[in-house]
Amino acid sequence: MVSDLFTLPAFVAYLALGAVYFVAFLVTYIWITPQREMALIRDGNLSAAISLGGAAIGFVQPLASAIAHSVNLLDLALWGLVAWVVQLLTHFVLRVIVRDLRAKIEQDVRSVALFVAVVAACIGAINAAAMTY
């Protein structure tokens, strides 16, 4: 039974890198969006929470795929970066498609937030599937 724990250091390393990437993605995403998600969420704006949650899910899906399929930490770091870039590009495309996205999120227009979250999650799922090579 104790011999089964020989992979524990690898587990901890992959988990730690995944967690660092997740937090760093959220910080970057919040930084690049024109609205102040955390302040809006604290004020009870559900749209901000929905759109941020969708982006997080859209990032974590391919990150999880990268963790499951990478051969080492460098491989994970590179594919995690790909997941990061794809999700940020998704956000920029959504800002072009949805007119005045910032105002709609700030006004708590939940239909827009749900659309943005679903698109982000769908792109994340496609990205994750593409990483299964």
Share of the chain above pLDDT 70, in %: 97
Q: What is the pLDDT of residues 52-83, one digit of tens each?
A: 999 999 999 999 999 999 999 999 999 999 99
Mean pLDDT score, 96-115: 96
The model carries a pTM of 0.90
Residue 95 has pLDDT above 70, yes or no: yes
pLDDT at 118 over 70: yes
CA 40 to chain centre: 19
Give the whole-angstrom CA distance, residue 102 versus residue 33.
8
Backbone angles phi, psi at 35, to 5 degrees: -85, 160
The C-alpha atoms of residue 120 and residue 133 are separated, in whole angstroms, by: 21
Does pLDDT of 38 surpass 70?
yes
Query: In angstroms, rounded to a whole number, what is the distance separating the alpha carbons of residues 30 and 23?
Result: 11
Confidence of residue 1 (pLDDT cuts 50, 70, 90): low
Separation of alpha carbons 25 and 33, rounded Å: 12
Q: How far apart are the first and last CA of the chain?
A: 33
**Amino acid at the residue 66:** A
Query: In a 10 Å sphere around its CB, with 0-12 CB exposed, 13-18 middle and 19+ buried, how is residue 120 labelled?
Result: buried
